[in-house]
Structures are given as C-alpha cells and as structure tokens.
Amino acid sequence: MTDAHTHVDLIDLDADGQLLYPGSRTTVPPDAIAGFLEEHLQLREETTDIFLHVHGWRTSPSDAESNAHRLFGLVDMVMAQQAHAYSRIQRFQPQYVAVRWPSADKKLPLDYYTIRDRTATMSQSGQVPRLLGAVLGYFNTHRDLPEPGPDVFASSYGQYLHCVGHSFGSRFLLHGILEATARLAEGGPDTLAWNWRDPSYPWTLDSLTLFQAALPADSFAQRPYAGILEANVLNAPVVMTYSPSDTALGVYHRRNEQQNGIGHLGATAPTEHIARLLLQDIGTSYTFAREKRLINVDASHLYLKGRRITGGAHSDFYHPESAHLLLSLANAAR
C-alpha cells in the first residue's frame, strides 16, 4: 500500500548504474544528466528537508516505489502527530526522492553473490557514485544552504539534505558520499549542529540513516568506508539500525562474508568512534552522542517479523519509531 498524500520523485538506474529516462530502458547520456535532474526533480523553493532513499536487496521497482511511499508516509504521519517533539524544526515542508536499481536476479532463487557483486561493480565503475554525487550536487546548486541565526539553534534556516539507505542501498550511499567529497574542494556553509562540518566543502549532507545495512561489521575500519570517518561532506554521524532477528545479515551474511552484517548486531570497529542507542518509542526523545561518528541503534525489540528462510526481520523497519528516528536526526541537524 502507498500513501496517496505522500509524493515521491523516482530516479531509475539500470544494472550498470546508468540513469534511465522514466518509464523506459533508455539511458540518459552523461552530458544530459544535469538537464534531466533539473527537469525531473525541480527542487521547490518552499522545501525545508530533502530525503533521498535507496532501497535494498531483492526489491522490485514497484515495491521500491511502494516502500518509499510507506516510509515517507510514516514520516509525514509522525510529524503531524507530534510536531512539538521536534522543536528546532519550525517549519517542515519535505521533498522525497527514491532511487530504484535492479537488486534481484530472477535466474537465481538466492542471488546474494550476484547482487553483492553488482553493487560492487556499479560502485567501482564510478557510475553510481557519480550519479549520486550529481543528484547531491544538483541539490547543492539549487538549495538554500542551512545557516544559523545568532546563538539560537531554532532560528537556523535553509534546506536540509538527508539520505536514507536500506540493506545494499547503504553501500551506494556511502560510495556516493565519498565520491561527492572527492569532487568538491572549496567553500563551505556555516552551520551549527554536528561537530564534523569541514570548511573545505561547499555544502553538507545533514543526516545519514542506514536501516539494516548490508555491510561487514568492521567496514568502517577498512577502505573505502573508513573514509567516512575523515573530513567529508557528511556533517552528521552515520546512524545504523540493527536487530539479531535480521537473519539475512546474520546467517547468510556470515556464510558469504565470514562475519555478521552491520544490520545484525551493529558496527564493531573502530570502537573509539562507536556509540550505541536504543530505538526509542515515538514519545521518547533522543540524546545523540555528538562526539561519536558511528551510532548503532538497537532495534531488536521492534524489528522482529519475517520468515527466517527469506531473511527474517531484514525489512521489518516500517514503523513509526523509524520515522521518529529520521525526524529526530533532522531536528538535531538544525
């Protein structure tokens, strides 16, 4: 089911990570990408928060669209129910974007290796990171950068950019952030919020949430993902949910990667950068550790449902509590 009141703009990729024209298999030529994004996304002046979502493993195009509506519909619902809980967000006019990519191989009933290798190839080829960098760069050139008022967090204004990934979609976003970082060299907005703003970069990504990330638990201690801990365009911690009921990132991930995925028990390294939180009820506020770059969010009490043989609770994150987490991060970014 989709939320008819929640509009989501769609961006489609082929198996090589190339941008497609809507409703077709025709790729957008590299020199036409900027014009396509200009026409297709059309960032609205009244927008306050931009959310970019990348789905995970074995998700059909129709399910990807439906799931984006489902998640962002929850964001709209929770904000409508308790706007007072996000006191720094004085006005909330979101714009939602979902990236769809071929995340299943119909020839194989269990295609973990195929899709894992596809995400690696699409990322290593540079096409997906360049596209995500172009999307983020498009927003950079069209949005009003967040700027703080004098000594008052709540008076900050501008358009905030939030990325949300699920499963293998987490890899795409991380590669996109690293690529965008490499491409942007000078300038910088003067924002409050998190501790990691770096004046070397002309804009910021204001939150990054990875639901049940399909990444080895020690990924941030290894290249390329260790680069996220260095100065880059991400002016926020990497927030990652986990649940032991996610058997896709437990049993299957251990079998294929020789260790748990982050979405099973959280990131494990580097330990000095890691904080842990409990996924809070929508009536409970968050206190984020501002000195830690990686935040594991324990969702084991809520992310429970799913058949073990098909991944357990790997996709059981469509809850108001997940929307509350996203809104709390948007609130903390101000």
User: Which sign, positive or negative, has the C-alpha torsion 233, 195, 87, 148?
Assistant: negative
Written in H, E and C, the secondary structure of 54-95 is: ECCCCCCHHHHHHHHHHHHHHHHHHHHHCHHHCCCCCCCCEE
For residue range 239-286, list pLDDT tens digits in order.
999 999 998 888 777 777 788 999 999 999 999 999 999 999 999 999
Instruction: Tell me which residue of 291, 280, 312, 332 sits closest to 212, measured CA to CA.
Output: 312
Are the beta carbons of 156 and 147 closer than 8 angstroms?
yes
The stretches in the chain having pLDDT less than 50 are: 1-2, 148-156, 185-193, 202
Polymer length in residues for the chain: 334
Q: How many CA atoms lie within 13 A of 16 on its CB side?
A: 7
For residue range 199-240, list pLDDT tens digits in order.
555 457 889 999 999 999 999 999 989 999 988 878 899 999
3-state DSSP assignment of residue 296: strand
Q: In the chain, where are the structural domains located?
A: 8-332
Q: Is the pTM of the predicted complex or chain greater than 0.85?
A: yes
